[in-house]
Structure 1
Amino acid sequence: MTLKQIRYFIAIAELGSISAAAQAVFVSQSTLTLAIQQLEEELEVSLFSRSAKGMTLTHQGHQFLRQSHLIQSTVENAKRNLQEATHQESGQLVIGVTSLVAGYFLADLLTRFQLAYPRVKINVVEDERHYVEHLLVSGEIDVGVLILSNLSNRQALQTEVLVHSPYRLWLPARHPLLEHDSISLADVATEALIQLNVDEMEHSARTFWQRLNTPPNITMRTSSTEAVRSLVAAGLGLSVQPDMTYRPWSLEGDIIEARSLHDLNDTLDVGLAWRRGSQRPALVDAFLSVVRGGHGDSRR
């Protein structure tokens, strides 16, 4: 197993296709294909399900993706520690997060930062987006990790997108829509729908449902992503959710299918925010550097 294979695997997992990953890591498609085949042979598992629409992670693939991020981060941190051996940062960094983001991004970001800066004390403040913004602008927290799509203080904050997460439709196994070659928002609007009502997700969803003349048939609302998974898997409704929250099984072990909607190209943007204008604290620069080492750099 090589670090290149790990890097290629992460690229394919995040982009969903050999062709897109080949462009991202600047190698040929045949090189990527061979590297993944060799990796699967060594691990003796299938990491991807392959179809004409692209590459999707298997259960084992999801498990290996988390380990791959840790491997990559450990190597980067080892290099950084050697380069910065004479300059050990210390102090306190206050990070603001919203609840949905905390569940999917926080542990990985904090693990990588603590490996690189073990002497820095981290305090985490979790609250709703508008209050995290208020704390950022007032200087009470140093950096925020939150959904950027609904920011209200854009002039006072500088932001950087870490993930553009596309929306997909969640369905239970054997649902009739799975037989369709293409699914649209109109196909879904009349189905019983489950809406995730956390981190202003309902507000985000409203922007794409408003394009239809027919309002969506939302029959349940919940602030729990796991509840959405269980309800969908049990056949009690469908749900349109950002791909970052998708897992192919519920807590009960039931299968959840996910399909793209051909007329929905919106994304949920997750990233960093910090106060604009004033000189950034050194620890904020350090945090940004570590986080950028594990994600694409999409500044705006």
Structure 2
Amino acid sequence: MSFSFRNVRYFIAVAEAESITGATQTLNISQSVITEAIKTLEAELGVSLFQRHARGMVLTHAGHQFLRHAHEILAVVRNAQQALSARPDAMAGQLNLGVTGLMSGYFLPYLLDRFRRTFPKIDVRLVEDQRGFLEHLLVNGELDLAIVLASNVENRLALEVEVLQETPWRVWLPSNHSLLELGSINLNEIANEAMIMLKLDELDDNTSAFWRAAGLNPKVAMRTQSVEAVRSLVATGAGLSILPEMLYRPWSLDGDRLEMRAIQQEMPVLEIGVAWRRGSKLSEAAQHFLIVAREFARSHRRQSL
């Protein structure tokens, strides 16, 4: 079904004037044009919108129903026009944005750069902390939004969460490891290998859960909060690691090479997303940030295809 915005406006004018003649005076348009518009709209909707009588026109039951939606259509279009007419570089305000340690290093920088270039006068105030504390700040209204691992958010009753990006888990191995000849690796094949666990953003809790689900106990050689430490330790043969693909780089800081392989077991993808307090009215700055974040995520998905 497709109908014109102009015909919706004509319908509202006739409904309010209760006559074609009254609508012509409001719209300053000929009677025949309005009559044809109403006929076209009724044909497209498949219902009669008016009952015609000698003194004018009154809405049918279907007409009353459509009138409510017609006003909503006008309001949406007006809001869109106002939003498009506003210059992003002139918009001012403040955005209180929370971010976890992992997100501040691997998702936030380019997203924040795009937002600041689009809305240079919006003051972005960043708070980096653990996911649980950021949830507390969101619920208390101290943060507008927070970028977190959406799959780990706990307070779903109080928070809205929108997933922006998904990344699969991978096994990281040194470049001379014998399992590299395989296209994918079963957890059973690395159960006796030394494992390097990343504690950042609860990733060690996620990977521990994967091992438990497989009925295996990993041989943990080290737990660290540094992604660069994991890269160096894996590249130099100190152990293997299971980490999200988005963190992977083929070289350590010292130039040692490492590889990654898919995991045969079915594992939930890691979700990166933005959270805010459920039921709260987002500030204009927060709404604009959400729009930029969605477009940023879509562009990343297109690049990865």
Structure 2 length as normaliser, TM-score? 0.68
Residues matched between the structures, number: 217
CA distance in 2 between counterparts of 1:156 and 1:93 reads 20
Aligned twin of 2:146: 144
Give the equivalent residue in structure 1 for 2:172.
170
Q: Alpha-carbon deviation of 1:153?
A: 0.8
Partner of 2:194: 192
Q: How much does 1:283 deviate?
A: 1.0
Q: Deviations for 1:237-262, whole angstroms, at most 9, x for unmatched residues?
A: 00000011000100011111000011
In 2, Cα distance between equivalents of 1:146 and 1:231: 26
The structure 1 segments of at least 4 consecutive aligned residues displaced by more than 6 Å after TM superposition are: none
Does the 8 A contact of 2:170 with 2:244 survive in 1? yes
Which one of the candidate residues 87, 93, 100 is aligned to 1:91?
Answer: 93
Give how far 1:82 is off. Answer: 8.2
**Matched residue type, 2:159:** L
- The runs of 5 or more residues in structure 1 that have no matched partner are 1-80
Aligned CA distance change for structure 1 residues 183 and 88 (closer, same or farther; 3 Å): same
| SS, match of residue 179 in structure 2 | helix
Return the alpha-carbon distance in structure 2 between the equivalents of residues 280 and 155 of structure 1.
Answer: 17
Q: How far apart in 2 are the matches of 1:195 and 1:268?
A: 16
Aligned to 2:103: 101
What SS is found at the alignment partner of 1:257? Answer: strand
| Equivalent position SS for 1:200 | helix
- Select the residue among 282, 289, 292 that pairs with 2:291: 289
Aligned pair in 2 of structure 1 residues 131, 181: CA closer, same or farther (>3 Å)?
A: closer
Report the CA distance between 1:88 and its aligned residue. 2.6
Separation in 1 of the partners of 2:176 and 2:213?
Answer: 28
The answer (yes or no) to whether the contact 2:172–2:242 under 8 Å persists in 1 is yes
Does the Cα contact within 8 Å between 2:196 and 2:239 map onto a contact in 1? yes
Q: How far apart in 2 are the matches of 1:100 and 1:262?
A: 25
**What is the alpha-carbon distance in structure 2 between the residues aligned to residue 271 and residue 279 of structure 1?**
19
User: In 1, distance between residues paired with 2:275 and 2:128?
Assistant: 14
Shift of 1:161: 0.8
Deviations 1:58-99 (A, max 9, x none): xxxxxxxxxxxxxxxxxxxxxxx9853388320111100000
Q: For the structure 1 residues 105 and 176, does the alpha-carbon distance in structure 2 shift closer, same or farther, using more than 3 Å as the test?
A: same
The CA distance in 1 between the partners of 2:243 and 2:86, in whole Å, is 41
Does the C-alpha gap of structure 1 residues 90 and 206 become closer, same or farther in structure 2, counting only changes over 3 Å? same
The aligned residue for residue 212 of structure 1 is: 214
Query: Residues of 1 paired with 2:230 and 2:184: CA distance?
Result: 23
**Larger fraction in helix:** 2
The letter of the residue matching 1:128 is: Q
SS in 2 for 1:213: coil
1:26 maps to what in 2? none
Q: Is 1:267 matched up with 2:269?
A: yes
Contact 1:185–1:264 (CA under 8 A) maintained in structure 2: no
1:189 & 1:93 partners in 2: Cα distance?
A: 46
Per the TM alignment, residue 264 of structure 1 is displaced from its structure 2 partner at its CA by 3.6
Partner of 2:104, secondary structure, is: helix
Identity of aligned residues (%): 46
SS of residue matched to 2:193: coil
- Superposed CA RMSD in Å reads 1.8
1:112 alignment partner, one of 102, 114, 123: 114
Change (3 A) 1:87 1:225: closer
Letter of the structure 2 residue corresponding to residue 162 of structure 1 = L
For structure 2, the residue ranges without an aligned partner over 5 or more in a row are 1-82, 300-305
Deviation at 1:266? Answer: 2.0
Check the 8 A contact 1:164/1:269 in 2, yes or no: yes
C-alpha distance in 2 between matches for 1:172 and 1:296: 32
Mapped partners of 1:225, 1:86: distance in 2: 36
Q: Secondary structure at the match of 1:219?
A: strand
